[in-house]
Structure 1
């Protein structure tokens, strides 16, 4: 009987420093960004108000009274902002959260949704001693950022909403949700299509690579996310400077939907990021960083 070969050396080194650093440099080069000086972020954990352990990344940079908190979308992870964090780390304190049930953060079945996300942002601000914060929220993370911004916390300096709004294209969101809940597994990294996907995998008890996120939160009724009129009502309560960014190739948010949501938020504007899809931080990190930097200059 022929024995099955074990995992390759590359697969076993999935989370090594060298592998993660190589993924970062490859991502920069793929987008025509000079990789010299690119660094992996520091990592930490804090405890949310309900006891959940939340993992975060922080890119080294000069001390600055202004901090940015980056929030990824559903099924992703904080490392999706690796390149953007490097591009912006000289301009503010850059922090990215693994949302609960994602990445290295704790799984909390039955406790997911925009309210929990907003509570976790508030906990990050408190635990990390942040005084003036710009939140950059993508997709599901953007909805949580809107929820927190609508509370008008005193630390909130600005809001960047990335490719999400009250009205989303249902076919595109259904396709994304179907992929997330399908939970594909892989024998090794050789079978994985992209470096970004590889960064979202860990070894399972069955000896295969599987996704780091808790897919239970994506089943119908498991996660409370305000949409339509409920999200518009939240938008009308936001009082800080706000911009909405839409990916040019996004099939999730249309130009019309972005403009309509901007009109709901006092003083908000919106723009289309060229060469980007729904996940702007991965498809055009330079475009996202430039848009955020322009927003920061307006604040200052």
Structure 2
């Protein structure tokens, strides 16, 4: 399978400034303050690496420090048109409880692009296998949002022995057509901007009631050869992506045997309560809940609540080894 890099293999000076440590640190602090994340002094930027293999695209991943040797592994997969840094705050809140990693799906972020027909659920499954093998991960808990959640469900249904737990974030076999249409229109419409201020104005106009901030998408932007900002993902993938949907996905998820939690955003226009409840009914032992003050991208709209629910899930499936409190003498 041939691969191709996104256009800015050799970054310009403006690209380097956009991705500098100081710039990324300020964006992280700004997002933390906006979401009232406690303990700002404990925030860290993640380490970065690439998984390379003989065939298939190179995959960029992030890893946050602070985990204990016996900590569970949490592997996070973002949605379509997003990137691994979308989990920056969630992973910071989890990093002392678990070994947290996040992967740029192929055709996203800093991972390689491939031919338009080489995207989809099967491809995500291959990439999960590659990351787990390259990093020698065991007893993995996968957190998958939207597109990453679809791939994670397919992978979990086919490889039940490799998974300790699954958290599905705002995706289900039956999704709201209007919501999916709006997401699809956004990621397939070519967009470019003069500067970050224009990006902010565009985001505010697109979602005036939610007022998204540019620090949440800056890691997903690059300077193009024409001197304008554009998104890092390969928009062509969404035209020919091969996904298991509806009845095909229903059939696959019935094979999932690991502990599973389904989370939907209270304001989600993609996954309804009915759809989340149906999915929970298809997976043996699965449960679902709604995250308040959150839209479709829960890790961006309410990362504190998302982290809290993942910690609760980890506590249920991987109890800590701390001794129980002793009774008073």
3-state SS in 1 of match to 2:75: strand
Gaps in structure 2 of 5+ consecutive residues: 1-12, 201-213, 319-329
Cα pair 1:136 1:159 within 8 Å, conserved: yes
Equivalent residues in 2 for 1:172-183, closer than 5 Å: 172-183=179-190
Deviation at 1:50, TM superposition (A): 3.2
Can you list the C-alpha shifts for 1:37-60, whole angstroms capped at 9, x where unaligned? 100000000025633100000000
**d(CA) in 1 for partners of 2:156 and 2:167?**
10
Can you list the C-alpha shifts for 1:86-143, whole angstroms capped at 9, x where unaligned? 0000111100000000000000122100111011111111100111100000000000
Cα pair 2:160 2:258 within 8 Å, conserved: no
Report the more deviating stretch, 117-126 or 49-58: 49-58
**d(CA) in 1 for partners of 2:125 and 2:290?**
26
Can you list the C-alpha shifts for 1:251-299, whole angstroms capped at 9, x where unaligned? 1000011000100000001000001000000000011001100100011
Aligned to 2:96: 90
Match of 1:199 among 216, 219, 222: 219
Gaps in structure 1 of 5+ consecutive residues: 1-8
Residue 157 (structure 1) aligned with residue 164 (structure 2): yes
3-state SS in 2 of match to 1:158: strand
**d(CA) in 2 for partners of 1:102 and 1:205?**
18
Aligned to 1:4: none
Aligned to 2:124: 117
**d(CA) in 2 for partners of 1:38 and 1:190?**
26
Residue 39 (structure 1) aligned with residue 39 (structure 2): no
Match of 2:195 among 188, 197, 222: 188
**d(CA) in 2 for partners of 1:183 and 1:60?**
36
Aligned to 1:6: none
3-state SS in 2 of match to 1:180: helix
Aligned to 2:20: 16
Aligned to 2:317: 299
**d(CA) in 2 for partners of 1:65 and 1:297?**
11
3-state SS in 2 of match to 1:104: coil
Residue 25 (structure 1) aligned with residue 43 (structure 2): no
Aligned to 1:58: 63
Match of 1:214 among 218, 234, 247: 234
Q: CA RMSD in A?
A: 1.4
Match of 2:143 among 136, 139, 146: 136
**d(CA) in 2 for partners of 1:84 and 1:65?**
16
Aligned to 1:258: 276
Aligned to 2:154: 147
Cα pair 2:193 2:229 within 8 Å, conserved: yes
Cα pair 1:21 1:40 within 8 Å, conserved: yes
**d(CA) in 1 for partners of 2:256 and 2:312?**
20
Cα pair 2:121 2:150 within 8 Å, conserved: yes
TM-score by length of 1: 0.94
**d(CA) in 2 for partners of 1:290 and 1:155?**
24
Aligned to 1:107: 113
Deviation at 1:149, TM superposition (A): 0.3
Cα pair 2:15 2:222 within 8 Å, conserved: no
